[in-house]
Amino acid sequence: MNRNLRLCLLPCFVAVALFSLPLKAQAPAQDPAQSQQAPGQPGATLSIAAREVLLDVVVTDHDGRPVTGLKPADFTIVEQGEPQRLTHLEEHHPMSGGDLARLQSAPPLPPNTFTNFSPVANTNSSTVILVDALDTQVQAQMELREQLIDYVKHMQPGTPIAIFQIDTEMRLIQGFTADPGVLLDAAKGKRDVPSLKKPIYGTREEYNRFRMGILRSGFQLMGRYLGGFPGRKNLIWLTGSIPGSWRNDPLGTSFGKSFHDDFTVLEDNPGDLMEALTLSRVAVYPIDIRGLQTLPQFQASTNGRPSPGAGARFERAQAFQHMDLDSLAEQTGGEAYYNTNGFRQVIGAIVSNGSNYYTLSYPTTNQTWSGQFRHIKVAVDRPDLLVQYRHGYYAYNRAKQEQRLLAAMEKRKASAENSPFGDDQSADAEAPPADSAPNNTGALITHPKGGFEATMQLGAIPPTEVIFTASLAESDKVEKLDKNAPLPADNFLEASYEDKPFRTYTVKIHADARALRLNREADGQRHGTVEFVTVVYDQIGNRVNSLITTAALNLSEASYRQLLKVGLPAEQQIAIPVKGNYFLRVGVHDVPSDHIGAVEIPVDEVHPGVAGQ
């Protein structure tokens, strides 16, 4: 193997072995008489695919108080002008102290075992607070920070809250927790401080375009993080402005698509909850944190006589900005707030508003899936009530989307196979047969333009769309290569580390298979493709080593059922230098659905002499 050979997830892809995991040994024994059927014999299985729409609906009276006790007959749903039949309604309320006490906490993990799963106590709804330092003046940020601290000091326990901040990138300040003390420490911490950075210089148009790019990629990372958490997510976006206009963009294409607002085909397996709808259930509550604003001529900082028409221009600009906030909130099922300085009270009202809601579902009558936007209208049979809900969805064709993702992966692979890596490239020019053992290849992730590549960067928000554990074991043996000696197989240390002592770490990954898209094809088997990646970084984010394993799954129905019970395993061995501070970034990528999971592990937290389970 060429020791300089690497794999680029973007844009190139070298040959990777495709294999079928040996799950048949774990599957229940099957009677041959049942597995074979004579031609023409009756008893063929009829597979039915159905698509349902899932909506979270908040109903309030004219004073903003939640309305409870509504029945299915109280709701009317229309999609693109066509009446729909409501098949399910579930009412949600804030969980009481007794409910929270009855919830079981996650058991402690074995030594040297890490996971991207974060249990949330309140499974009905959770709150996400986004501090926007990208579009907000520093003075307003400072005032906001003080009010956020004040809210946390007085918040009711039991409400899970996560705190994000966006400046030149989206950052997770604090993951979901209902502990006011932990949230207070996060709000006071140095990570959540006013941003003094300006991400780009240039014309206003260039700056706004760059800001929109930061928001787009940031919300994609946030959406992948929120994907693994149950229930409704109320996103409180504390901002000074939104670049561009959302009014001419149904559901905010740049925003709405960040949260995977699409559908999963429900096959003949209604008991598999993870195969239900993949709506992320995020409702946006934008708050203009500039507070109550006065006309320029009445501000203390104004010297002299204001220019003619200044007040009218100010009011017009402010009206358009508030329309943007209203439009975004309406499209996502939230509510916008502006012209107020009581942020603490507003946040409390949003938490209460978003914790009392109904979940509705209906099988859509429109079976054409060409990616078009479909408008939804929900009404309640009481004219005095207000209804908040997501006003539409994109009717994606999931099969075509999966084909595009797989074709893109094959294109990257073919591109790398034709690259001039050297005379000894031929050893990796062909992928082994599909039933062979996995072939690991070095993974270069150098251009994080989004998706899997972005989530594998050091310090990126850890996605939870695919839940998994990673167990690590450190080798007792310290190795050092002789000068000019080739690297061992499957060792892809960067050139500057190849002559330094290293240890080999075994990484055992165990992924929850219920999050994987394994569709049944015409041959009766379930097919899918999963990538396992481990990357080693130094303390300033330089890549030290990397490894990727690609699994092509071809499963019988019995193997698939067993896989849902036991999970999908993978094992990798990766070299880490002995001297220095390093971090492991372990990721799982389900290619057909583009769902991702990742976890970051400081190497110094791996205890020597203890094998992960």
Residue 541 CA: distances (Å) to CA of 170, 441, 585: 17, 21, 11
Tokens at residue 389, please?
A: 């809900």
Q: Is the pLDDT of residue 345 over 60?
A: yes
Q: What is d(CA 339, CA 298) in angstroms, rounded to the nearest whole number?
A: 16
363 near 87, Cβ under 8 Å?
yes
Q: What is d(CA 164, CA 186) in angstroms, rounded to the nearest whole number?
A: 10
Per-residue confidence (pLDDT) for residue 125, from 0 to 100: 86
Residue 10 CA: distances (Å) to CA of 2, 279, 428: 20, 27, 19
Tokens at residue 319, please?
A: 């009206």
Residue 585 CA: distances (Å) to CA of 4, 10, 297: 22, 17, 54
Count the neighbouring beta carbons within 10 Å of the beta carbon of residue 480.
Answer: 12
Give pLDDT tens digits for 142-176: 777 888 888 888 887 677 899 998 888 888 999 98
255 near 306, Cβ under 8 Å?
no
- For Cα atoms 443, 403, 215, give the angle at the middle one, nearest 5 degrees: 65
Contacts (Cβ under 8 Å, ≥6 apart) of 185: none
Per-residue confidence (pLDDT) for residue 493, from 0 to 100: 87
Mean pLDDT, residues 63-81 taken together: 93
> Is residue 359 exposed (0-12), middle (13-18) or buried (19+ Cβ within 10 Å)?
middle
Count the neighbouring beta carbons within 10 Å of the beta carbon of residue 331.
Answer: 21
Of 4, 57, 27, 15, nearest to 379 by C-alpha is 57
Identify the weakest region by mean pLDDT among 90-104, 284-298, 432-446.
432-446
Mean pLDDT, residues 233-262 taken together: 61
Q: What is d(CA 450, CA 258) in angstroms, rounded to the nearest whole number?
A: 11
Tokens at residue 575, please?
A: 């070299």
DSSP structural state of residue 194: -
Mean pLDDT, residues 323-327 taken together: 80
% of the chain exceeding 90 in pLDDT? 28
CA atoms in the 13 A half-sphere facing the CB of 251: 22
Contacts (Cβ under 8 Å, ≥6 apart) of 564: 272, 513, 514
User: Would you list the DSSP string of 531-591?
Assistant: EEEEEEEETTS-EEEEEEEEEEEEE-HHHHHHHHHH-EEEEEEEEEESSS-EEEEEEEEET
Q: Is the pLDDT of residue 534 over 50?
A: yes
HEC per residue, 160-195: CEEEEEECCCEEEEEEEECCHHHHHHHHHCCCCCCC
Residue 371 CA: distances (Å) to CA of 55, 400, 519: 19, 10, 20
Q: Work out the pLDDT band at 349, boundaries 50, 70, 90.
A: confident
Per-residue confidence (pLDDT) for residue 309, from 0 to 100: 59
The SS3 assignment for 107 reads coil
Say which residue the tokens 């195969």 belong to. 275
Q: Work out the pLDDT band at 236, boundaries 50, 70, 90.
A: very high
Give pLDDT tens digits for 262-307: 433 333 332 222 232 334 688 889 888 876 655 554 444 555 555 6
Q: What is d(CA 381, CA 89) in angstroms, rounded to the nearest whole number?
A: 15
Residue 587's region, left for phi above 0, alpha for psi from -120 to 50, else beta, is: beta
| Helical (H) or strand (E) element with 470 | strand 468-474
Q: Roughly what angle, to the nearest 10 degrees, separates helices 180-188 and 138-154? A: 160
Per-residue confidence (pLDDT) for residue 274, from 0 to 100: 27
Give pLDDT tens digits for 175-228: 988 888 888 888 887 655 544 455 556 677 777 777 777 887 888 888 888 888
Give pLDDT tens digits for 555-612: 999 999 999 999 999 999 999 999 999 999 999 999 888 889 999 999 999 988 766 5
Q: Which domains does the chain possess?
A: 7-27+399-605 (no CATH), 59-92+357-388 (no CATH), 122-296+310-355 (3.40.50.410)
Q: Where are the strands (E) in 341-494, listed by range? A: 357-363, 373-380, 386-388, 392-394, 443-444, 468-474
Count the neighbouring beta carbons within 10 Å of the beta carbon of residue 556.
Answer: 16
Q: Is the pLDDT of residue 390 over 90?
A: no
Q: Which amino acid is at 148?
A: L
Q: What is d(CA 181, CA 156) in angstroms, rounded to the nearest whole number?
A: 12
Tokens at residue 56, please?
A: 């979270």
Contacts (Cβ under 8 Å, ≥6 apart) of 515: 228, 274, 465, 466, 467, 590, 595, 597
Q: What pTM does this model have?
A: 0.73
Give pLDDT tens digits for 540-553: 889 999 998 989 99
More confident residue, 443 or 602: 602
Per-residue confidence (pLDDT) for residue 305, from 0 to 100: 58
Of 470, 495, 493, 462, nearest to 572 by C-alpha is 470
Q: What is d(CA 159, CA 126) in angstroms, rounded to the nearest whole number?
A: 7
Tokens at residue 522, please?
A: 């015409």
Helical spans, DSSP H, in 275-422 = 310-332, 343-355, 398-417
Mean pLDDT, residues 66-93 taken together: 94
